[in-house]
């Protein structure tokens, strides 16, 4: 690129580069009384180079060495010309990058099979290919005093709330850090701290999912070097949704959403409820089941709380080991480790068979949560409810649940209440958890106050 588009235009002998410092340029021309009047201006060498000799390149004039250092360190070329007080920063980057591939974590049955990559320009082009509209705005922001990491603030200028965009832009522009290497670090730097450590930013590797939220009035942040886009703000129900929901028939999508909500409750509360019932509230169990549980626990030498902690921690170890080992043997470790460990523990009399069932159902339910961060949050607080159930039974769980929900209701994501749209019955202006038929999705989410609340006519199917 430097040979073909910089050196050759500067060195080839042609009428454009025969500069002798005596040439003039016509600025304007007018005819008055059959006399042509021309206004000329002496050529400026910097402007001459920029406009005539190297017009093919992305070129910027720089006046300070620190700006030139930043450009050269990121792969650009710096052009210095004797007698000129400016230098030219010319983009000639050429580096290898990963091609667009299938999503590895957010797999859908119906829908596109493209995922973000680590290159900022590739990710922005994926978004622009989906949203072919001039209102899609992308603002470039540099973060990091050393790394100068580039990120793009994306929003629909005719839909997004200007106050929301201004708040996110303010937070991004006021980060004084040396380095920024991942989207996870950026998420922690721009979100408010909360008592529960619930995720307040939705991350996705799917361009179609990011585009759908942009069209709803949300804001998307893309970071160079990260194959994930951050969607702001995010409320609790966003972490229980999947891109596949909008591609399914409404009854099926709502059924799956109900299953996910049930899976979240099971992940959080089932082990604690089992400990509470077995320790304090045996009257809730049928007599035959109670006798079966007591018989299975006769040979177990540990208290119930120790027994369930052994299995829960073992399950988390198997899950983590399955993620860290090489991918060809990862699923094998998860399956074989779970079966062998559970069967050996029951045969050795360390745990009871009913506890294996409880832990297995809890683990399977945690895998049904679409978002990894929110699933991790539920898995962490599951241990708290286990301790509350072992100390005070249903009373401890009820008190813990009351405090948990109160703190959850007090949490906000960029000014939006976290539990907005949590009700299954809420259908006001498209903000409910239950999906209406597609011809009734007339309004965008009202809790972010978009410029255009309505996204389609009352009668969208004009063919009827």
List, for residues 224-268, the tens digit of each pLDDT value: 989 999 999 999 888 988 888 888 888 998 899 999 999 999 999
Do 88 and 2 meet the contact criterion of CB atoms below 8 Å apart?
Answer: no
Domain final position from 417, 437, 456: 417
Same-domain status, 82 and 172: no
Residue 269: what pLDDT? 93
Q: Which long-range contacts (C-beta less than 8 Å, at least 24 apart) are formed by 10-13?
A: 10/53, 10/54
pLDDT band at 139 (very low <50, low <70, confident <90, very high): very high
Residue 421: what pLDDT? 73
Mean pLDDT of 334-362: 78
Do 115 and 103 meet the contact criterion of CB atoms below 8 Å apart?
Answer: yes
Residue 169: what pLDDT? 93
Residue 444: what pLDDT? 85
Mean pLDDT of 349-373: 86
Residue identified by tokens 């969607």 is 231
Backbone angles phi, psi at 227, to 5 degrees: -85, 25
HEC-encoded secondary structure of 55-100: CCCCEEEECCHHHHHHHHHCCCEEEECCCCCCEEEECCCCCCCCCC
Q: Is the pLDDT of residue 424 over 70?
A: no
Same-domain status, 303 and 336: yes
Same-domain status, 61 and 162: no
Question: Does the residue 251 lie in any domain?
Answer: yes
Same-domain status, 197 and 319: no
Question: Among 145, 143, 396, 144, which residue's Cα sits nearest to residue 153?
Answer: 143
Question: Does the residue 375 lie in any domain?
Answer: yes
Domain final position from 90, 105, 128: 90
Question: Does the residue 105 lie in any domain?
Answer: no
Query: What CA–CA distance (Å, rounded) separates 212 from 230?
Result: 13
For the question of whether the overall pTM of this predicted structure is more than 0.85, the answer is: no
Mean pLDDT of 189-198: 85
Mean pLDDT of 58-64: 86
- Dihedral of CA 181/183/184/186: which sign? positive
Tell me the pairing of strands 59-62 and 87-90: antiparallel
Question: Does the residue 165 lie in any domain?
Answer: yes
Higher pLDDT, 343 or 162: 162
Same-domain status, 332 and 355: yes
Residue 141: what pLDDT? 92
- Give 161's DSSP letter: -
Question: Among 432, 459, 460, which residue's Cα sits nearest to residue 446?
Answer: 432
Tokens of 203: 């991350």
Same-domain status, 229 and 257: no
Instruction: Let me know the angle formed at the C-alpha of 186 by 235 and 71, rounded to the nearest 5 degrees.
Output: 140
Question: Does the residue 104 lie in any domain?
Answer: no
Same-domain status, 226 and 253: no
B/e letters for 1-40, b = 16+ CB within 10 Å, e = fewer, are: eeeebbeebeeeeeeeeeeeeeeeeeeeeeeeeeeeeeee
Higher pLDDT, 391 or 347: 391
Question: Does the residue 462 lie in any domain?
Answer: no
Mean pLDDT of 400-428: 80
Do 112 and 94 meet the contact criterion of CB atoms below 8 Å apart?
Answer: no
Domain final position from 417, 437, 452: 417
Mean pLDDT of 346-373: 85
Quick one: 406 exposed, middle or buried, by C-beta within 10 A (0-12, 13-18, 19+)? exposed
Domain containing 160 equals 120-234
Same-domain status, 10 and 46: yes
Tokens of 415: 């000014």
Same-domain status, 322 and 179: no
- Give 158's DSSP letter: T
Q: 112-126, 205-219, 301-315, 370-384 — which is least confidently predicted?
A: 301-315
Same-domain status, 218 and 273: no
Tokens of 70: 């930043």
Tokens of 285: 């169990």
387, containing H or E segment: helix 372-410
Backbone angles phi, psi at 356, to 5 degrees: -60, -40
pLDDT over 70, % of the chain:
86
Our count of domains for the chain comes to: 3
Mean pLDDT of 363-388: 91
Q: Which residues are 229's β-sheet partners?
A: 204, 222
Do 138 and 121 meet the contact criterion of CB atoms below 8 Å apart?
Answer: no
Query: What CA–CA distance (Å, rounded) separates 287 from 304?
Result: 19
Do 24 and 39 meet the contact criterion of CB atoms below 8 Å apart?
Answer: no
Q: Length of the chain, please?
A: 464
Mean pLDDT of 19-31: 54
Same-domain status, 250 and 230: no
Question: Does the residue 451 lie in any domain?
Answer: no
pLDDT band at 456 (very low <50, low <70, confident <90, very high): confident
Same-domain status, 31 and 56: yes
Do 62 and 71 meet the contact criterion of CB atoms below 8 Å apart?
Answer: yes
Question: Does the residue 459 lie in any domain?
Answer: no
């Amino acid at each position: 690129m430097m040979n073909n588009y910089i050196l050759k235009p500067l060195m080839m002998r042609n009428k454009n580069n025969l500069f002798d410092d005596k040439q003039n340029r016509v600025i304007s021309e007018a005819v008055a009384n059959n006399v042509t009047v021309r206004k000329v201006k002496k050529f400026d060498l910097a402007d001459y180079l920029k406009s005539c000799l190297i017009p093919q390149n992305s070129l910027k004039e720089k006046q300070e060495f620190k700006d030139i250092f930043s450009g050269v360190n990121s792969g650009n070329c710096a052009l210095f010309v004797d007698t000129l007080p400016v230098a030219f920063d010319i983009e000639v980057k050429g580096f290898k990058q990963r091609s667009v591939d299938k999503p590895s974590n957010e797999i859908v049955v119906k829908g596109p099979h493209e995922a973000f990559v680590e290159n900022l320009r590739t990710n922005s082009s994926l978004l622009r290919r989906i949203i072919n509209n001039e209102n899609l705005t992308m603002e470039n922001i540099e973060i990091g005093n050393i790394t100068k990491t580039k990120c793009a603030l994306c929003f629909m200028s005719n839909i997004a709330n200007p106050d929301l965009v201004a708040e996110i832009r303010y937070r991004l522009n006021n980060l004084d850090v040396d380095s920024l290497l991942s989207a996870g670090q950026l998420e922690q730097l721009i979100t408010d701290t909360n008592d529960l450590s619930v995720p307040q930013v939705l991350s996705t590797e799917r361009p179609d999912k990011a585009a759908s939220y942009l069209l709803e009035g949300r804001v998307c942040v893309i970071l160079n070097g990260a194959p994930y886009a951050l969607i702001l703000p995010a409320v609790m129900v966003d972490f229980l949704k999947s891109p596949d929901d909008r591609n399914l028939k409404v009854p099926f999508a709502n059924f799956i959403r109900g299953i996910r909500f049930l899976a979240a409750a099971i992940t959080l509360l089932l082990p604690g409820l089992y400990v509470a019932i077995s320790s304090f509230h045996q009257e809730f169990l049928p007599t035959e089941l109670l006798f079966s549980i007591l018989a299975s626990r006769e040979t177990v030498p540990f208290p119930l709380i120790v027994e369930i902690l052994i299995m829960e921690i073992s399950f988390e170890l198997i899950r983590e080991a399955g993620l860290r080992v090489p991918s060809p043997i990862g699923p094998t470790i998860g399956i074989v480790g779970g079966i062998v460990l559970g069967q050996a523990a029951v045969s050795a009399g360390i745990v009871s068979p009913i506890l294996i069932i409880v832990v297995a159902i809890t683990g399977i339910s945690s895998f049904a949560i679409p978002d990894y961060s929110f699933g991790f949050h539920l898995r962490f607080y599951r241990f708290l409810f286990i301790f509350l159930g072992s100390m005070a039974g249903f009373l401890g769980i009820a008190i813990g649940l009351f405090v948990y929900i109160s703190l959850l209701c007090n949490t906000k994501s960029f000014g939006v209440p976290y539990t907005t749209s949590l009700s299954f019955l809420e259908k006001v202006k498209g903000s409910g958890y239950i999906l209406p038929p597609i011809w009734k999705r007339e309004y965008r989410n009202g809790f972010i106050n978009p410029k255009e609340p309505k996204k389609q006519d009352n009668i969208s199917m004009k063919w009827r």
